[in-house]
Structures are given as structure tokens and as C-alpha cells.
Structure 1
Amino acid sequence: MGTPLGDFVRVKRDSIQPQALGLPDHGRRRSPGLRRVDLAARAGISVEYLTRMEQGRDRNPSVAVVNALADALSLDPAERNHLRYLAKITGGECSAHTRPAPARRDVRPGVLETLRLLEPGIALVTNRLGDILASTSAFEAVMGGSGLFDADAPNLTRYVFTDSRSRSFFADWDEVADEQAFDLWLGPGIETSEWLTAELAPVAGPEFTRRLNRHVVPQRGVLRLHHPSGCELRLLRETLDLSSDAQHLVVFLPADEATAEAVDRLRDRSRGRLRAIS
């Protein structure tokens, strides 16, 4: 049985063509990408050790080995951070007695006050499962008609993978789906595993499980929305990590003047108050 760390290293190795690293092409091979022997040589480790790591039989690589693999795979900064993170959780930080507490659904008063001060901006608080815990009225106005708030406990991950309306609402649905699947790795724990196994995976289908196991680090560019009102919104995102709560405060900023004007019109139609869903 593999591990998140081993899966990520294998996926990255399979995605790299030898020529991209200045290595000779050895012709037809049973698997695509970089051979284990080439990666092991670049990282300064044995092929046997790399094999054990990819297969999940070695779960405790040293910091030096992790950094050497990052160099050998030519990972970008975001991918390097993800590799280090996977090494930590694979090495036992999420063992039975050290698993993180369940994803909390309550939002601290100080965070709610911060959200209130962001009005009339577009912002929300979400946890690592994608639950929307609180939002400004502007966020609800922007998401109006998408179907996201139809559920009593709206969840962005579930919406993206199980509600057909999300595919037309998000202009770049594939990129958004990659982001939501990847974010589930940011706080693994027993409640995440149970939620995936019992609730999400059975209804989300292969589109979800394929993305979850690819470990593609998303770029998080401009978020493009096809709003039901007929306008296209282009939004930039700034994320504040509330690590002690395993939550995120996300602020959306208009990427151009046309979006700013469209958001103003949507806000005028739906004037409301801060919403604390939890």
C-alpha cells in the first residue's frame, strides 16, 4: 500500500520527460517519464530506497533526502512545500494519537468581527473540508443563483463535484476541481478520511478520486465565474491561513473594472448582513 509521499514522488517522476532534465532518452519503456534509476542518481540515493519510498515501505525520509528529491525533480516552490508536508504526515504526524482534531465548524468571534469589517467586500471563512462557515453578504450576492447555498450546510467541495450547475458557473471548472481536491491534503485527519469514504467519494465519482490521487499543486490564478445574471466575473483571491482553527479566510478582489462594476450591481440587488452558517 502506497503513501501520499510515495504517490506524489511517483506521479512527478512519471510526468517528467528525460530530455527536460538533459538526460538521454532510452527509448520505449514500460512506464512513462523519468526512470527510477535516473531519479535516484540525481538525488544521490539508491534505487532500492527510492522504490521502498514510492511503494510506501519507507515512511521516514530525512530532511536531506526530501530536499534532494525536490532538487532532482526540479520542483517549484509550491511543489517543494507540498513534498515536505507529505513527508511530515507520512512519517507519523497523523498517527492515531497525534491526529488533528476534527475540522471545527464554529468561527471565533474575532474572525467574525474581521469578516464584518471586510463588508462590503467579498469574503468567506471555510475549513479544510470545504464547508462554508461564514461569509459576507457580497459573497452570497456573487454566488447567488449558483446553487451553492441551496444546501443547509453549504460545502464548496461537494458542490463542485456533485452539482452539475458548478460546471457552467465556474468557467475553468477543471482548475477549480483540482484546487478543491488538492486542498483536502492540507489537513488530513480521521474526520477527513471518514468524510471522503462515507459521503463524498461515493457520489463524486472518478472525477474526484482521480484528482485526489494526482497531487497536482494548483496555480490558483484568476477565478472566472459565469454568473447567472449574464455577466462574467474575474476575481483575484487572497487567503489568510487560520492555522490554529484549521480554517481559511478568503478575500476575493475584482480583477478588472468590468468585474468591479458587476459586483456593485449584484450587491445593490442583494443587500444583507454577515452570515455565520455554523
Structure 2
Amino acid sequence: MSTPLGDFIRAKRDSIQPESFGLPDRGRRRSPGLRRSDLATRAGISVEYLTRIEQGRDRNPSPAVVNALADALSLDAAERNHLRHLAKITGGGCPGRGRPVPPNRHVRPTVLETLQLLEPGIAFVTNRLGDVLAYTTEFELLMRGIGLLEGGTPNLTRYVFTDPRARTFFPDWEQVADERAFDLWLGPSAETSEWFRAELAPLAGKEFTRRLNRHLPPPHVPLRLNHPIAHELRWQREKLELPRTDAQELVVLLPADDATARAMKRLRRQPDRILRAVN
């Protein structure tokens, strides 16, 4: 039975061209990417041991082996963090069947004060499940009328996969969907993420479930929005991990071009802009 750790290593290995590592071209192969034997040699482990890890028959590789595999695959910082996370949850066993305690959705007062300081910028606090926990007035203005902030606790992941309006609002819907599914691997905990995936899967369908075993981090690209009034907007995203929270982060959207900046200036003329924290 495969494991998230084994799936990630195999997917990353399949994505690497041997020539990029200075290895010779050995002709046509039944599967693409780096050979298992080549990866094992680079990591200093046996092919048999690597096979056991990839197939889920060894669930507890040592930190030294995990680091050696990260080096052998030339992982970047984000991929290394993901590999260590997968090693932790793979070795920890399967999550329980009951619903875990929900993540703490409380936003610290100092974080809310930070949001105030960011006005009139566009910023919000979220967690890895996609809950939108607090936001600036400019974020509310940007998201007004698309369905995300309507009723209950807004959740970006649920919105992307279950609200038909999301496909219009996000022109690069496939990219956004990949990002939301990948973030579920990063917390708040393995148990909570597993519960959320199980809850969302029947509603979201195959577009969600086929992404669940993808472990390669999506590329970091500008976010495009098809706004109902301002039309196409392009944003750069900066993310700040918040310490001592349940995988919460502060996300700031910055205009990626002059046209987006001018469009937001026009939207700011609308009244009733109030900073809200969602509890």
C-alpha cells in the first residue's frame, strides 16, 4: 500500500530528466524520469530500501535517509519542508476515524492590529484548510459579490471546488485548485487535514479527489482574478507564517501591474468599508 511519502518520492523522481543530473541517456524506457537505481546511488542507499519506501513497505526512514533523498532529488526549500512533513505523517500511522477537534480559528489581537496597519492594502488571515479568518476592508471590497464571503465561515478551498462562480473568478482555476489541494498536506494537523479532505471529497468530486495524491508543490505564479466590475486583475502574493497558531498565515496581495493598481483605486470609492474578523 502506497504512502504519501512514497508517492511524493516517486512523483518527483518521474519528473526529473536524467540529463539534468549529468547522467547518460540510456534509451527508451517504460516509465519517464530518473531511474530508481540512479536515485538510490545518489542518496547512498540500496535500491531495495528505496523500493520499500516508495511502495509503503518501510514507513519510518531515518532523518538522515530523508535528508539524503532530499539532496539526491535536489529539492528546493519548499519541497524539503513538504518531504519532512510527509515523513512525519507517514510514520505516525493512520488518522483516527472520528472527527478531530477543529483547528483554533481565533486570530490574535496583534494580528488584527497588523491588518489595520496594512489598510488600505489587500490582506487576509487564513489557515491551510482555507478558512478565511480575518481580512481588511480592501479584501472585502475585492471579494464582494463573488460568493466567497457569503454566510458561515468563509473557506477558500471549499469555494474553489464547489462554487461554480469560482471558475469564472479565477481564470487560472487549475492552478488555484492545485494550490488549495496541496496546502491541505501542510496542516493544521494530519488528522484535521484528513477529516477535511473526507468531508469535502463527496461535494467537490473528481476535480478534488484526483489532486489528493499530488505532492509536488505548484509553481508560484501571479494570481489572476476576473473581477465582475474591475475585470482582469493580476496580483503578486506575499505569505507570512504566523507563529503559535494552527497553521495560520497572513497573505498580502500586491498589484502586479499598473492596470490592477488603477482598477483598485476606482473600487475604493465605494462606501461602507469595514474591517471584519470572522470567528
Query: 1:193 maps to which residue?
Result: 194
Bigger share in helix: 1
Distance in 1 between residues matched to 2:148 and 2:86, nearest whole Å: 31
Query: 1:249 maps to which residue?
Result: 250
Query: 2:116 maps to which residue?
Result: 116
After the TM superposition, which of the residue ranges 251-260 and 70-79 deviates more from structure 2? 70-79
Letter aligned with residue 256 of structure 1: D
Moved over 4 A (4+): 93-96
Distance in 1 between residues matched to 2:236 and 2:196, nearest whole Å: 29
After the TM superposition, which of the residue ranges 125-134 and 183-192 deviates more from structure 2? 183-192
Query: 2:273 maps to which residue?
Result: 272
Cα distance, 1:77 vs structure 2: 2.7
Cα distance, 1:60 vs structure 2: 2.2
Distance in 1 between residues matched to 2:131 and 2:29, nearest whole Å: 44
Do the aligned residues in 2 keep the contact of 1:129 with 1:184 (CA within 8 Å)? yes
Distance in 2 between residues matched to 1:119 and 1:94, nearest whole Å: 43
Do the aligned residues in 2 keep the contact of 1:103 with 1:129 (CA within 8 Å)? no
TM-score w.r.t. the length of structure 2 is 0.90
Distance in 2 between residues matched to 1:82 and 1:243, nearest whole Å: 18
Residue pairs, 1:210-225, within 5 angstroms: 210-225=210-225
Query: 1:81 maps to which residue?
Result: 81
Cα distance, 1:49 vs structure 2: 0.7
Residue pairs, 1:1-278, within 5 angstroms: 1-92=1-92, 102-187=102-187, 188-197=189-198, 199-246=199-246, 247-278=248-279
Identity of aligned residues (%): 68
Aligned residues: 274
Cα distance, 1:189 vs structure 2: 2.9
Distance in 1 between residues matched to 2:220 and 2:268, nearest whole Å: 25
Cα distance, 1:10 vs structure 2: 0.9
TM-score w.r.t. the length of structure 1 is 0.90
Distance in 1 between residues matched to 2:21 and 2:41, nearest whole Å: 12
User: Any idea what SS the aligned residue of 1:64 has?
Assistant: helix
Cα distance, 1:200 vs structure 2: 0.7
User: Any idea what SS the aligned residue of 1:180 has?
Assistant: helix
Distance in 2 between residues matched to 1:268 and 1:142, nearest whole Å: 12
Do the aligned residues in 2 keep the contact of 1:102 with 1:190 (CA within 8 Å)? no
Distance in 1 between residues matched to 2:4 and 2:70, nearest whole Å: 15
User: Any idea what SS the aligned residue of 2:241 has?
Assistant: strand
Distance in 2 between residues matched to 1:249 and 1:224, nearest whole Å: 19
Cα distance, 1:270 vs structure 2: 4.3
Distance in 1 between residues matched to 2:40 and 2:33, nearest whole Å: 14
Cα separation, partners in 2 of 1:189 and 1:24, compared to 1, 3 Å: same
Cα distance, 1:28 vs structure 2: 4.3
Do the aligned residues in 1 keep the contact of 2:185 with 2:193 (CA within 8 Å)? no
Letter aligned with residue 35 of structure 2: R
Letter aligned with residue 165 of structure 1: R
Unmatched 5+ stretches in structure 1: none
User: Any idea what SS the aligned residue of 1:192 has?
Assistant: helix
Distance in 1 between residues matched to 2:28 and 2:253, nearest whole Å: 47
After the TM superposition, which of the residue ranges 240-249 and 262-271 deviates more from structure 2? 262-271
Do the aligned residues in 2 keep the contact of 1:125 with 1:133 (CA within 8 Å)? yes
Cα distance, 1:131 vs structure 2: 0.7
Cα distance, 1:112 vs structure 2: 1.6
Do the aligned residues in 2 keep the contact of 1:178 with 1:216 (CA within 8 Å)? no
User: Any idea what SS the aligned residue of 1:251 has?
Assistant: strand
| 1:221-254 per-position Cα deviation (integer Å, ceiling 9, x unaligned) | 2111111114221111111111311211111111
| 1:193-230 per-position Cα deviation (integer Å, ceiling 9, x unaligned) | 12211x21111122212222111212322111111114
User: Any idea what SS the aligned residue of 2:221 has?
Assistant: coil
After the TM superposition, which of the residue ranges 254-263 and 130-139 deviates more from structure 2? 254-263
User: Any idea what SS the aligned residue of 2:180 has?
Assistant: helix
Do the aligned residues in 1 keep the contact of 2:89 with 2:190 (CA within 8 Å)? no
Distance in 1 between residues matched to 2:218 and 2:126, nearest whole Å: 18
Letter aligned with residue 31 of structure 2: S
